[in-house]
Amino acid sequence: MPGNEEKHFPQKPSGPRTFKMKTAPVKVPEKYKKELNDEQLKAVTHPGGPALVIAGAGSGKTRVLTYRVAWLVENGADPRGIVLVTFTRKAADEMVSRVEKLVAVSRDTLVAGTFHHVAGVFLRRYAKHVDYQQNFTILDRDDQEQLFKKLLGAHLQAKDDAMKQRFPAATHLSDMYSRAINLQRGLAAIVATSYPQYKGLEADIEAIIGHYNREKRRQNAMDFDDMLVHFLALIRKENVGDEIRKVVKHVLVDEYQDVNQIQADIVLELGREAKSVMVVGDDAQAIYAFRGSEIRHILDFPKQFTRLVETYYLVENYRSTPEILALANASIKHNKKQYPKELRTVNPPGEKPALVQCESKDEEANFICQYVLQARDQGVPLAEQAVLYRTAYQSQLLEKTLLQYNIPYEVRAGIRFYEKAHIKDLLCFAFVVQNPSYEIAWERILTLLPGMGTRSTEKVLQAILPSGNPLVTFTTANAPKLLEGSRIGKASFEHIKQLQSLYRVLSIDEVTGAALPEDKLIPPGPFLDACLKFYEPYLKEKYKDPADRLDDLKELVGLAGRYATLATFLAEVAISETFVGQSGMGVPDTEERPIVLSTVHQAKGLEWTNVHVMGVVEDMFPHSRSKANEDDMEEERRLFYVACTRAKKQLVLSYSVLNEQHGGPGRNLIWKRSSFIDEIEEDGVYEPLLIEHEFEA
């Protein structure tokens, strides 16, 4: 009946009533509003918790990270609790310098640097928890390979000649070991996927690696991979990890698209309980799979936390013209595994990118040279122009042609400054003071001396290394007795005595005869200068170009002078990524800075007014090895995207139809232009540039 209907009331929830409270509004200082666009400001003022910033090419990610640090400090964060991780020391220094201009903070209070630098900071502090002494030495790649070579030789002594020929070289052993560590995979999986030619030798390789690990422990040394392994182990140790997490309140990571498995694990462990963890990167620029980086880490980042992960997009590009971005956007949209985005810019319009078809590689090289000179005549300096290519050997013909046109050039390649042989020679004089058990450094120093071969050096090391302090033992040893039975002359004894004298002056307390503690050693600049005076005669004997090398060594002494202690200098040296470019030809009587030649991988993070991308043909770009795998093809497309987005105002793509190599990639006589060009043809984002030949009468 009407009026007698059963009434239903909402059920009263069990437990206490709750009220969902949002973060209180924070007043944003005008300097932030003035210097940041809306996208950047949202990321910088992220309230807390995990955050992912997808930063497109040229969108100002460095600015975001810099202002983020300043924002945290201005809002009460202790700078000592901020960890800023970058992929190069240079990037970290640049960011910290900018932070210092924004907010009152000293660079010494922030933990900022590469993964290895950050790991080194905590490992020095907690070395005993991973069974190392605090003065451990860091092996670089060359030292690592030398140690593997020595252990491989010992392991193969009992093998027959046929078996010896099957074994991997030291460089391969080093790479297999490193891949297993960084990808967090077993050796068998690494052999199966990357080194199938060594299938069946896994047990022998494991034995050599086991010996390698024991030898490092004996010498109180770590390689680069160990630093990350031991740092991750520290964070995961119950008491030590809790202590580290109490200190680290805010984690910021640059270039997150380039991390490998162990680096991703470190970030997640550090950020697990942090007040905020912000990773910044661009999935469209993930191009280092060959180094162990995996794009899945940035793609899956939002799934790694139980807390909500905020995602911010930076798509306003400050580098390129709208036309260049249109081509880049049209290309990258063909990738399936990505965060979809479209770069835009407020820069004024310019020319469409040009596509140039050449008959031969000679014509392509000549075209590039003439185009470069024309651009210079029109006001674009050589240093504001670059030629990029997929693989390093593509530059050979171009370099020859640049010489013919008298165009100075520089190839971005080369070895790390600190890995040059003569630099390592001098550094070893310091290494044995910082870590007297460092056998590799002792071997390098002793074999410099005339008459000291492998056997004589081993004899010295067998006498001093088992002692409590090998350096003290060396300086007090009787040289003839030390080398009793060795076939060396009296002159060699004199060289050893001079080396003993050097170390007595630099590192031994003249009263007690004990090794000087770190705070009593002379500063690293004067220390290395004294070692250089001793080393210089040997430098002249060992190398054909001692004058140029001496200039390098004087620069090293100057660099050392910037550090307060020998230990801090050597720690930075070991993880520095300072590279030396290979200079091409300089034009006489001119100070004009050269045009840059570079692989695309080496060019990432850089920009030029004009960029030429040469060799844009199928089987080269994309590379033939990538075509069977969709993930590899997507990485090739990302590489193409990176190449194009290096250009600010003008982008020229070129290729030759005729392949004169007869057996290069694809083994085609006639090249086909890149499928990356074909797939954007209908988008109308480039225009053909036709070559017309002018012949002299």
What are the extents of the domains in the chain?
A: 30-129+227-317, 139-219, 322-414+584-689, 418-575
Question: What pLDDT sits at residue 220?
Answer: 93
Range with lowest mean pLDDT among 7-16, 101-110, 484-493, 649-658? 7-16
Backbone angles phi, psi at 601, to 5 degrees: -60, -40
Rounded CA separation 626/620 (Å): 10
The 10s digit of each residue's pLDDT in 604-622 is 989 999 999 999 999 889 9
The 10s digit of each residue's pLDDT in 362-393 is 999 999 999 999 999 999 999 999 999 998 77
According to DSSP H, which parts of 598-693 are helical?
A: 600-603, 630-644, 675-678
Domains 30-129+227-317 and 418-575 share a fold: no
Q: Are strands 310-314 and 49-55 parallel, antiparallel or unpaired?
A: parallel
pLDDT tops 60 at residue 23: no
Please check whether residue 610 is in contact with residue 649, taking contact to mean a CB–CB distance below 8 angstroms. Answer: yes
Which candidate, 92, 459, 14, places its Cα nearest to that of 255?
A: 92
Whose tokens are 């390592």? That residue is 424
The CATH architecture that domain 322-414+584-689 belongs to is 3-Layer(aba) Sandwich (3.40)
Other C-beta atoms within 10 Å of 6: how many? Answer: 4
Q: Which fold has domain 418-575?
A: PCRA; domain 4 (1.10.486)
Please check whether residue 231 is in contact with residue 267, taking contact to mean a CB–CB distance below 8 angstroms. Answer: no
Quote the percentage of the chain above a pLDDT of 70.
Answer: 91
Instruction: Provide DSSP, 406-448.
Output: T--EEES---BGGGSHHHHHHHHHHHHHH-TT-HHHHHHHHTT
Which candidate, 455, 220, 478, 486, places its Cα nearest to that of 446?
A: 455
Please check whether residue 73 is in contact with residue 103, taking contact to mean a CB–CB distance below 8 angstroms. Answer: yes
Question: At 593, which amino acid appears?
Answer: R
Sorted by sequence, the CB contacts under 8 Å of residue 119 that are 6+ apart come out as 227, 228, 230, 231, 266
Residue 429's pLDDT band (cuts 50, 70, 90): very high
**262 to each of 179, 185, 226, 279, how far by Cα in Å?**
11, 10, 11, 15
**20 to each of 17, 23, 434, 596, how far by Cα in Å?**
10, 10, 57, 57
Instruction: Specify the DSSP class assigned to residue 683.
Output: G
Rounded CA separation 452/495 (Å): 10
Question: In the predicted model, what is the mean pLDDT of residues 250-268?
Answer: 95
Please check whether residue 110 is in contact with residue 79, taking contact to mean a CB–CB distance below 8 angstroms. Answer: yes
Instruction: Specify the DSSP class assigned to residue 59.
Output: S
Question: What pLDDT sits at residue 411?
Answer: 86
Say yes or no: domain 30-129+227-317 is CATH 1.10.420.10: no
Chain mean pLDDT for the chain: 87
Question: In the predicted model, what is the mean pLDDT of residues 313-338?
Answer: 96
Cα angle vertex 640, ends 346, 691, to 5°? 85
Question: At 253, which amino acid appears?
Answer: V
Q: Are strands 409-411 and 582-583 parallel, antiparallel or unpaired?
A: antiparallel
Question: What pLDDT sits at residue 67?
Answer: 93
Rounded CA separation 688/659 (Å): 21
Residue 342's pLDDT band (cuts 50, 70, 90): very high
pLDDT tops 50 at residue 579: no
According to DSSP H, which parts of 112-201 are helical?
A: 115-125, 141-156, 161-166, 170-182, 187-194
pLDDT tops 70 at residue 585: no
Which candidate, 471, 477, 464, 469, places its Cα nearest to that of 505?
A: 471
Please check whether residue 597 is in contact with residue 426, taking contact to mean a CB–CB distance below 8 angstroms. Answer: no
pTM of the model: 0.79
Instruction: Specify the DSSP class assigned to residue 548.
Output: H
The 10s digit of each residue's pLDDT in 65-101 is 999 999 999 998 999 999 999 988 888 888 888 888 8
Q: Are strands 385-389 and 409-411 parallel, antiparallel or unpaired?
A: unpaired
3-state secondary structure of 508: strand
Question: What pLDDT sits at residue 370?
Answer: 97
